[in-house]
Structure 1
Amino acid sequence: MFVDEVKFFGPGRYELLERIAETGSISQAAKDMGLSYKKAWAMIDALNTTGKGPYVVTQKGGTKGGGTVLTDTARNVMAAYKRLNDKLLAALAEEQELLSLV
């Protein structure tokens, strides 16, 4: 997905958000993906500043340490992206099946 002709959301950002949701950590999500923390943070910053609301919120540490959570905005965009991607994959599978009959 593009906003003002700039890449805004795609499989990499989806996976990063998914891993943040699983781990509660930007650094762990980045590590799991083989990304530098700087690159992961740049992706998050782009989402947070370009989107209509923040996607990721960091929480300062306390006795249990800090953490990172996704906002409802992030979860809604992820769900919409997944639906769109699923439809695209289904259409591609259908076209491949039709081509195999030729």
Structure 2
Amino acid sequence: MPYLSLRIYLDPEGRIGPGKIELLEKIASLGSIAAAGRDMGMSYRRAWELVEETNRIFGKPVAARQIGGRHGGGATLTPLGLTLVARFRAIEAAIAQVTREDLAALQQEVDRPESPAEGTAGGTSSSPTP
């Protein structure tokens, strides 16, 4: 089944897409930037860079690190981070809803075998004319 991938351009250099949102969701569920990065196959450094980039885009933190303690540190999403994830997923669901029929129609075209008349533009032969 076809799907759309949403990317939101918020400023000339700031983009929010499915990767950053998934990272934030994993930080929320795993309680750690390092664990979220590992789960997505990226280094802690890369995960932290993506969080910092998202912080820069919004001008405030989307995740907060918790330092040390008996069981080590961790991370949680800030209220902004939670809102960002919820709004992104809501936009994504709305787009999926409005495009469902058109995407299914496009998939039917992909799945439909080509008839001889459709093999060329305008249904004519593609053989060169003598």
Band of TM-score, shorter chain: 0.7 to 0.9
2:39 & 2:75 partners in 1: Cα distance? Answer: 15
TM superposition shift of 1:87? 1.1
2:47 & 2:104 partners in 1: Cα distance? Answer: 38
Amino acid at match of 2:9: F
Q: RMSD across aligned C-alpha pairs, in angstroms?
A: 1.8
- The answer on 1:71 being equivalent to 2:78 is yes
Count of aligned residue pairs for this structure pair = 101
- The answer on 1:83 being equivalent to 2:90 is yes
Q: Which has the larger radius of gyration?
A: 2
- Structure showing the higher helix proportion among its residues: 1
Q: 5+ residue gaps in structure 1?
A: none
2:18 & 2:58 partners in 1: Cα distance? Answer: 16
Can you list the C-alpha shifts for 1:39-77, whole angstroms capped at 9, x where unaligned?
A: 111100011122142101001111121110100001111
Q: Which runs of 4+ in 1 moved over 6 A?
A: none
| SS of alignment partner, residue 68 of structure 1 | strand
State the identity as a percent.
Answer: 34
TM-score when normalising by structure 1: 0.88
